A and B are shown apart, each in its own frame.
Chain A
Amino acid sequence: MKSKTLLSAAPTRRNVLTGLAAAGAATALPNFARYAHAGSDAPIKIGFQVHRTGIGAAYGRWYERTTNAAAKVINDAGGINGRPIGIVAEDDGTDPKRGAEVLEKFANQHGCDIAYGTLFSHVVIGSAPRAAELKLPYFVVSEGHHVASGMLNRYTLQPGITDVKSQVQAMAPFVADNLGKKVTMIYPDFAFGHNHRDFFSEAIAAQGGEVIAKLAIPPTETSFTKYFPQIPRETEVIYHVMVGPSVLTFVKELGEFFGPSHPEIFGFIDSLEAVDFASPGLEFLEGTHFWEGMPRYAQSNQTDADKFYRAAIGIDDKGASLDDPKDVSTYAHMFGCWETLYTIKDGMEASGYKGPADRQSLIEAVEAITDMPEGREHPQGAKLFNGKTHQVFGPQYISKVEGGKLVVQHTTSIEDGLYPDEVDYTAQSF
């Protein structure tokens, strides 16, 4: 009779496979495991919450490429406090529940020093409370106003990208002065879109304009024509901002709806991030305006920092991958990852960060940062960090589509985007 042990003389196919799988799993352990009890040259582990799947996947892919490029540049220059940084990436599926679980894995399983990198606002809002409970510094790259609004906590910071409130406040005068005062807004129906709705409505009213219709569209929607008849006839400007896998369909159907005679169109580049402007059906965008966090096309006055940044990630002058010109980046957002990693570096160096015991002093050190000069560490432009609200402020770019390329027309100043503090996180205890 055949015994049912793993050591039976003639192994069956099944138990050989089981054994192989176990051996495979053991060798696949992250390299960092080797440093578990090593000395001071062990890597600083940065848990990277990345949208590899779900509706944020296009952003996630480019956030990851930017993060890896920045980590390499930092490590090649000697790392942080003489230690290399190691990126521990985990997919959160662009899902708030999974996001919170991923933070737990970073803190308890991977032994990460900090967590970093989240974009979609609902994932940030779902994860941030867990970061505070775990006492894990959480550096988000999200654009949402939830950090500066006081909704989150002392452990959550946004030092690498400006928030929607600041962006739309800086943009609104340009829209009112150059495009029109009666605006119809089309935005995704979740926190990020609601930020646009609320703050742009306020900002355009301050310019003597008015939002005459608001079209909220579920971020998982795949067909859009049915929403467009709600656009009132007297609309002078369409303000659109859309996210998710169907953005190209959204913009194409907008063009098909209006045909040759459309009102002025002002879009947030989010509606076309990771989308090639040469895609069929986008010809009508010629002459329309876009907000860009950072100009996708290299401009005539391109800075040395922008050149260096593009080369480090592997991006050409049109914002597409050097290997595949059809693989267009999320150029207007992903600089936030690069700049956040450098701010983390500055904070760790200022606080003499050694390990998880120094997490609080790291946050205090970042809160003490104010000016961030333009340069290779901050290729998008000079910035001003507000330690009380944990939010950074910086320039915004308004571009016009000319000959199928985005050409910058106007750059707003840091001051254009400033608003009074709504919270003082430094007054909260750790």
Chain B
Amino acid sequence: MEFGPHLLLATLEGLVQASVLTLTALGLSLVFGVMRVVNVAHGEFYMLGAVLAWFVTSMIGGSAAIGFMAALIIAPLLVGLLAALADWLVLRRIDYDPERTIVATIGLLYIIQQVTLMTYGPDAHPVAPPFNTRLALPWFEFTDGGLSMYWPWGLSTTSYKLFVIAAAIVTLLALWMLMAKSKLGLILRATQLDGETAQAFGIPVEKVYALVFGMGAALAALGAVLVVPIQQAHYLMGDDPLLLSFIVVIIGGLGSLRGTVVAAILIGMSDGIISVFFTPTLAKILATLLVAMVLVYRPNGLFGAKPA
């Protein structure tokens, strides 16, 4: 494939990956920002979103579009509720102590993964996309007759992949509105700034924590529901997103939503483009190297706040 079409294809693939990664990493970043805890089970909430999407679509049956729309609402909601419950039953009782939370969420990771293995099984299952038209893309070249258009072999995307990108942008805007403009956003930001003072002002911090933990998990689940018609639901699919989300959150700055979005696009796009032109392994090597460099030279991330 020639360079131009090749680059366009790489960019499109990278954008799809960046969209899903942005949602997943935002969930992780939100939880860290407000609660100051690291959720190692985040990838499993992502996986649960995909698996629940499969359950919902296969139970509803009928048209793929209806099943998918239902999954888009039900799966993140259920995963969010489950995460809030886990927060209430486990994290609250260990006082959100950072080290103990890590151990507790590792335990949660194994429980979710193994229960999924025991119920859903070890096989990958597909979810039908609501719509999926192949869109061949044209390219331009200079010939003797001037500029002409042609259709390179393999240069294409699907309508569903474009939908994933659009859906991610809409979710991002909604989340930004929620954080910046609503009363709930104000409460979240107050808790993030200083939990104890917030409590003194009558904010039910424990409930806010449960809500945030649930929201973070629901964001991961939403990303997974969006990706599952492209990939498939599998009980081990949470490992990669967890690693990539950590990379994104470290580069962007823990707790900085703006930094998370920028870093997710950076990592998602570079992963797409580097894997297309070179190898996927090189993309992972470079991303991890970037993490190391950020930790050395900007320990708070590209957009992280300086420690007080």
Chain A residues, CB < 8 A from B17: 223
Residue A4 is within 8 A (CB to CB) of chain B in the complex: no
Q: Evaluate whether A245 and B154 lie within 8 angstroms (CB atoms) in the complex, with A58-B123, A229-B6 already known.
A: no
Q: Are B122 and A54 in contact, with the CB atoms below 8 A? A: yes
Chain A residues, CB < 8 A from B156: 256-257, 259
Residue A225 is within 8 A (CB to CB) of chain B in the complex: yes
Cβ proximity bits B1-19 to A, threshold 8 Å, 1 near / 0 not: 1000010011001000100
Q: How far is the CA of A227 from the CA of B9 in the complex (A)?
A: 11
Q: Are A248 and B124 in contact, with the CB atoms below 8 A? A: yes
Residue from B117, B122, B231 with most neighbouring chain A CB atoms (10 Å): B122
Chain B residues, CB < 8 A from A246: 124, 231-232, 234
Q: Give A40-99 interface residues, CB cut-off 8 Å to B.
A: 52-54, 57-58, 60-61
Q: Are A245 and B280 in contact, with the CB atoms below 8 A? A: no
Chain A residues, CB < 8 A from B281: 218
Chain A residues, CB < 8 A from B117: 53
Residue A420 is within 8 A (CB to CB) of chain B in the complex: no
Residue B275 is within 8 A (CB to CB) of chain A in the complex: yes
Cβ proximity bits A244-255 to B, threshold 8 Å, 1 near / 0 not: 011011000000
Q: How far is the CB of B112 from chain A (nearest CB, A)?
A: 15
Interface segment, B77-85, B126-134, B242-250? B126-134
Cβ proximity bits A176-199 to B, threshold 8 Å, 1 near / 0 not: 000000000000000000000000
Residue B141 is within 8 A (CB to CB) of chain A in the complex: no
Cβ proximity bits A201-237 to B, threshold 8 Å, 1 near / 0 not: 0000000000000000010011101111101010000
Q: Evaluate whether A226 and B153 lie within 8 angstroms (CB atoms) in the complex, with A245-B232, A248-B124 already known.
A: no
Residue B158 is within 8 A (CB to CB) of chain A in the complex: yes
Chain B residues, CB < 8 A from A258: 153-154
Contact of A257 among B6, B154, B237 (CB under 8 A): B154
Q: How far is the CA of A229 from the CA of B9 in the complex (A)?
A: 9
Q: Are A225 and B232 in contact, with the CB atoms below 8 A? A: no
Chain B residues, CB < 8 A from A248: 124, 126, 232
Interface segment, A23-31, A273-281, A299-307? A273-281
Residue B240 is within 8 A (CB to CB) of chain A in the complex: yes
21 contacts between A and B (CB under 8 A): A52-B122, A53-B122, A54-B122, A57-B121, A57-B123, A218-B281, A222-B232, A223-B13, A226-B280, A227-B275, A229-B6, A231-B154, A233-B153, A245-B123, A245-B234, A246-B234, A248-B124, A249-B232, A256-B156, A256-B158, A281-B132
Chain A residues, CB < 8 A from B90: none
Q: How far is the CB of B270 from chain A (nearest CB, A)?
A: 12
Residue B230 is within 8 A (CB to CB) of chain A in the complex: yes
Residue B136 is within 8 A (CB to CB) of chain A in the complex: yes
Q: How far is the CA of A52 from the CA of B126 in the complex (A)?
A: 20
Q: How far is the CA of A256 from the CA of B16 in the complex (A)?
A: 15
Interface size class of B (residues with CB under 8 A): 20 to 34
Residue A261 is within 8 A (CB to CB) of chain B in the complex: yes
Interface size class of A (residues with CB under 8 A): 20 to 34
Q: Give B237-278 interface residues, CB cut-off 8 Å to A.
A: 237, 240, 272, 275-276
Q: Are A229 and B126 in contact, with the CB atoms below 8 A? A: no
Q: Evaluate whether A225 and B13 lie within 8 angstroms (CB atoms) in the complex, with A57-B122, A57-B123, A274-B123 already known.
A: yes
Q: How far is the CA of A231 from the CA of B276 in the complex (A)?
A: 12
Q: How far is the CA of A258 from the CA of B153 in the complex (A)?
A: 7
Chain A residues, CB < 8 A from B10: 226, 229
Q: How far is the CA of A256 from the CA of B121 in the complex (A)?
A: 28
Q: How far is the CA of A248 from the CA of B1 in the complex (A)?
A: 25
Q: How far is the CA of A222 from the CA of B230 in the complex (A)?
A: 9
Residues on A facing B (Cβ under 8 Å): 52-54, 57-58, 60-61, 218, 221-223, 225-229, 231, 233, 245-246, 248-249, 256-259, 261, 274, 279-281
Q: How far is the CA of A60 from the CA of B117 in the complex (A)?
A: 14
Contact of A259 among B134, B230, B232, B240 (CB under 8 A): B134
Q: Are A259 and B136 in contact, with the CB atoms below 8 A? A: yes
Contact of B126 among A54, A61, A228, A279 (CB under 8 A): A279
* Residue on B nearest A275 in the bound complex, by CB: B126
Chain A residues, CB < 8 A from B126: 248-249, 279-280
Q: How far is the CA of A58 from the CA of B125 in the complex (A)?
A: 11
Q: Are B13 and A226 in contact, with the CB atoms below 8 A? A: yes
Q: How far is the CA of A264 from the CA of B158 in the complex (A)?
A: 23
Q: How far is the CB of B61 from chain A (nearest CB, A)?
A: 12
Q: How far is the CB of A193 from chain B (nearest CB, A)?
A: 15
Q: How far is the CA of A228 from the CA of B281 in the complex (A)?
A: 16
Q: Are B276 and A229 in contact, with the CB atoms below 8 A? A: yes
Contact of A280 among B1, B6, B128, B276 (CB under 8 A): B128
Chain B residues, CB < 8 A from A228: 154
Q: How far is the CA of A280 from the CA of B275 in the complex (A)?
A: 27
Chain B residues, CB < 8 A from A233: 1, 153
**Sample of 14 more A-B contacts, CB < 8 Å, known A57-B123, A223-B230, A245-B232:** A54-B236, A57-B122, A221-B280, A222-B231, A229-B6, A231-B154, A233-B1, A233-B153, A246-B231, A248-B126, A249-B231, A274-B123, A279-B126, A281-B132
Q: Evaluate whether A218 and B280 lie within 8 angstroms (CB atoms) in the complex, with A225-B13, A245-B234 already known.
A: yes
* Residue on B nearest A93 in the bound complex, by CB: B122
Q: How far is the CB of B275 from chain A (nearest CB, A)?
A: 5
* Residue on B nearest A255 in the bound complex, by CB: B134
Q: How far is the CB of B165 from chain A (nearest CB, A)?
A: 15
List the 7 shortest-distance A-B pairs measured between CB atoms, nearest first: A57-B122, A245-B124, A229-B1, A226-B276, A226-B275, A245-B234, A222-B231
Chain A residues, CB < 8 A from B237: 222
Q: How far is the CA of A52 from the CA of B154 in the complex (A)?
A: 37
Chain B residues, CB < 8 A from A226: 10, 13, 272, 275-276, 280
Chain A residues, CB < 8 A from B136: 259
Q: How far is the CA of A229 from the CA of B275 in the complex (A)?
A: 11
Residue from A245, A248, A261, A281 with most neighbouring chain B CB atoms (10 Å): A245
Chain B residues, CB < 8 A from A256: 134, 156, 158
Q: How far is the CA of A399 from the CA of B136 in the complex (A)?
A: 30
Cβ proximity bits B272-300 to A, threshold 8 Å, 1 near / 0 not: 10011000110000000000000000000
Q: How far is the CA of A54 from the CA of B128 in the complex (A)?
A: 24
